[in-house]
Amino acid sequence: MASEAKTILIASVKGGTSKSTLSRCISVCAAREGLDVAGIDFDPQQTFSKWSSARHETKKVIPSVSDFPVIAMSLNKWRGAEDVVDEHEIVIIDTPPALENNADAFLGLAEMADIVLVPTGSTHDDISSNTPYLLSLKKAGIRSFVVFSRVNRQTKSFRQARQQIAKFARVLPVEIPVAEDMHVHNDGGLTAVDIKDARGSKDVELLWDLIKHEVDL
Ligand SMILES: Nc1ncnc2c1ncn2[C@@H]1O[C@H](COP(=O)(O)OP(=O)(O)OP(=O)(O)O)[C@@H](O)[C@H]1O
Ligand SMILES: [Mg+2]
């Protein structure tokens, strides 16, 4: 049995904040470095695991595409994640929105993880939804970091949102821009980081480097 994997939980209370997008991108970055990576998909919509099935198909046509398992699991059986963590070097966990509906699972998973990433956009709705969640993670002593995603760095609203959230939560020094390349390649089980010079790919690579420092990889 391998030693325990570095575990990255990607969670936010707000829907549509790039949880699945970042789960896919980070997994691809890890696999590209030869790490034995597995994904876990706790979202009943199975965005991450369906994307992984498409990736398996693409690999049949383009063998250079990295491939790794993404396991769909029910939040009611969240402890099953421990078995996956025992078997791999790095585990990326994607979660559904509205975590407040299953507080036990989310706190349990957050405690299991080496790091919790909380993706957020920069609208007032994004910030006000995620603020109580970030405060509860802080109160519970969970290592968590905000990642701004799907944002336009040039806007005043982004700068204000970052300033506001940095008063009580740690914000990673990278923003994932809103960009077509960040979603158009998903169809074939790919990501921006699989595509040379795709917009957003350098930002995702920077995010991956920051994560590696935080989890001692
Ligand atoms: N940086 C980006 N630029 C452009 N589109 C993006 C970006 N990040 C995510 N998207 C798109 O925004 C939508 C929401 O992203 P995603 O599915 O990753 O969010 P989520 O937090 O997993 O959503 P849910 O809460 O429904 O699971 C998707 O259609 C995705 O392709
Ligand atoms: Mg999702």
Q: Which residues contact 2 (CB under 8 A, 6 or more apart)?
A: 36, 86, 87, 88, 89
The CATH number given to whatever domain includes residue 119 is 3.40.50.300
Average pLDDT over residues 193-199: 96
Average pLDDT over residues 186-204: 97
pLDDT of 197 above 50:
yes
Residue 103's pLDDT is what?
Answer: 86
Check pocket membership of 13 for ligand 1, CB cut-off 6 A: no
Q: How far is the CA of 1 from the centre of ligand 2 (A)?
A: 30
Indicate the pTM of the whole model.
Answer: 0.97
Whether 40 maps to a domain, the answer reads yes
What SS3 string covers the chain? CCCCCEEEEECCCCCCCCHHHHHHHHHHHHHHCCCCEEEEECCCCCHHHHHHHHHHHHHHHCCCCCCCCEEECCHHHHHHHHHHHHHCCEEEEECCCCHHHHHHHHHHHHHHCCEEEEEECCCHHHHHHHHHHHHHHHHCCCCEEEEEEEECCCCHHHHHHHHHHCCCCCEEEEEEECCCHHHHCHHHCCCHHHCCCCCCHHHHHHHHHHHHHHHCC
Check pocket membership of 121 for ligand 1, CB cut-off 6 A: no
Ligand 1 atom closest to the CA of 12, numbered from 1? 21
Domain count, the chain: 1
- For the chain, percent of residues with pLDDT exceeding 70: 99
Q: How far is the CA of 209 from the centre of ligand 2 (A)?
A: 22
Ligand 1 atom closest to the CA of 45, numbered from 1? 27
Which amino acid, residue 54?
A: A
Q: How far is the CA of 195 from the centre of ligand 2 (A)?
A: 21
pLDDT of 101 above 90:
no
Whether 1 maps to a domain, the answer reads no
CA-wise closest residue to 108 among 82, 144, 70, 69: 82
The per-residue pLDDT for range 37-80, each reduced to its tens digit, is: 999 999 999 999 999 999 999 999 999 999 999 999 999 999 99
The per-residue pLDDT for range 1-40, each reduced to its tens digit, is: 456 899 999 999 899 999 999 999 999 999 999 999 999 9
Which residue, judged by its Cα, is nearest atom 15 of ligand 1?
18
Q: Which residues contact 155 (CB under 8 A, 6 or more apart)?
A: 122
Which residue, judged by its Cα, is nearest atom 3 of ligand 1?
178
Which residue, judged by its Cα, is nearest atom 13 of ligand 1?
16
Whether 41 maps to a domain, the answer reads yes
Ligand 1 atom closest to the CA of 94, numbered from 1? 22
Q: How far is the CA of 17 from the centre of ligand 2 (A)?
A: 8
Q: Which domain covers residue 19, as residue numbers?
A: 6-215
pLDDT of 99 above 80:
no
Q: How confident is the model at residue 96 (pLDDT cuts 50, 70, 90)?
A: very high
Average pLDDT over residues 121-142: 93
Check pocket membership of 181 for ligand 1, CB cut-off 6 A: no
